[in-house]
Amino acid sequence: MRYSNLSLLILYFHLFPVFLFSQFSSPSWVDNACIYEVNIRQFSEDGTFEAFEKELPRLKEMGIDVIWLMPIHPIGELNRKGSMGSYYAVRDYKKVNPEFGDLNSFKRLVQSTHELGLKIIIDWVANHSSPDNIWIEQGKLDWYTLDSLGNIQPTIGTDWWDVADLNYDNQDMRTEMIESMKYWVKQCDIDGFRCDVAGWVPIDFWVDARKQIEQIKPIFFLAEAEGNELCQAFDMTYGWEFHHIMNELYQGNKTKSDFYEYFSRAQNSPCPQMHFTSNHDENSWNGTVEERLGDSKELFAVMSSVVGGMPLIYNGQETSLNKRLEFFEKDAIDWSRMDLVDFYSQIFDLKKNNAALSLKNRSQIDFIPVDSSSNLLGFYRKYGNDLIMCFFNLGNESASFTLPEVWEFKGRYKELHTGKGICLKKNKSIEIPAWGYKVYYR
């Protein structure tokens, strides 16, 4: 079906979800925040908290608000994968991985983060531990999932033979797990948790954990999972489906209609999502941004930041990280390029300063259907006097868009990245190169 210019003003979809938060109130700093994932082992040659701490001022200047550290705990040795093991095979929930530093160096990192006005959360692995966790050494075998012979087993249906599955039917284990989480808030003043495979842990545990931790201080809960039920305990979930649509669209397995269909469902989500073009799992196991998204990598980085929720950048993306970081071995990031710092800074600046992008304002995302044969995807978001208008070319050929005769949002705008002023008025034609985008704001 083809649409006339006038139809562009009439036929649009109000698809942005109205966030209905749970019994817990999200901290106000979440509203405009951008998050940065840190792999301490690979961040520097030293692989320490101290080495990372030196980079905090740079990250703040780039526009980062929240630091997320991958698991900081000692790694199990039994059944270890590779020579250094997986961060997600936790040996002791109340200790620091000595490769990274000690408790005091971690506390200094948290303090330095807070002094810069940033927040810091840590990865929490509640579904499983290492098979030589101190709980097992203490003889608490009933805290774990056992086979018919009474042996501790890994999580069923995975190849995670370096971990032991935890038993959430055991109340004593639940109590100690929550006490371990509270330890890091009390002792180190962290600001929240990114919860690994959160959907594999009973939701009532997360609700109970959140209730108890909130008695210490307001915190941020991020679930590495999707599902409306998680919003009972979590402030935010992962945008996995959105991420996969981006990957598959570039690879020719999805079309722009999949974005429309996705957002028509996403409007019913009770909580927002974190959006990303990479993270530690994607980078190590599924490929670099260059491998998965190629020429569209910058387009989708922008889109991930303007559709709502919270944008994530994985360490190294600002230096065009184009290698899969080893997961079980030392493989430090090469920081020599730093070619995308300004690119991300400008996106994050827009996220912070345009009221239409703030979570608290809950502004709609209004998609404007264009010619169905076109690869163009366009939408706008508006709150008060703030407006952001986005056009994305999801194809290998250049495309154009002509504003209609009756144009509600005529006036002066600035263009993202170039900073140029532009007058958007009726009949104005906008040319967008292959896998390009135009983002205008006021």
User: What is the rounded distance in angstroms from the CA atom of residue 188 to the CA atom of residue 112?
Assistant: 12
Which tens digits make up the pLDDT trace of 36-83?
A: 999 999 999 999 999 999 999 999 999 999 999 999 999 999 999 999
Looking at domain 365-441, its CATH superfamily turns out to be Golgi alpha-mannosidase II (2.60.40.1180)
Fold of 20-361: TIM Barrel (3.20.20)
Domain definitions of the chain by residue range: 20-361, 365-441
Using the Cα atoms of residue 111, residue 124, residue 163 and residue 286 in order, give the sign of their dihedral: negative
Residue 429: C-alpha distances to residues 205, 351, 420, 424 (Å): 54, 26, 16, 9
Report, as ranges of residue numbers, the positions in the chain whose pLDDT lies below 50: 1-21
User: What is the rounded distance in angstroms from the CA atom of residue 190 to the CA atom of residue 193?
Assistant: 8
Write 146-154 long-range contacts (CB < 8 A, 24+): 154/128
Beta-strand pair 66-69/119-124: parallel
pLDDT of residue 4: 36
Could you tell me the pTM of the whole model? 0.94
User: What is the rounded distance in angstroms from the CA atom of residue 302 to the CA atom of residue 305?
Assistant: 5
Q: Is 228 within 8 Å of 22 (Cβ atoms)?
A: no
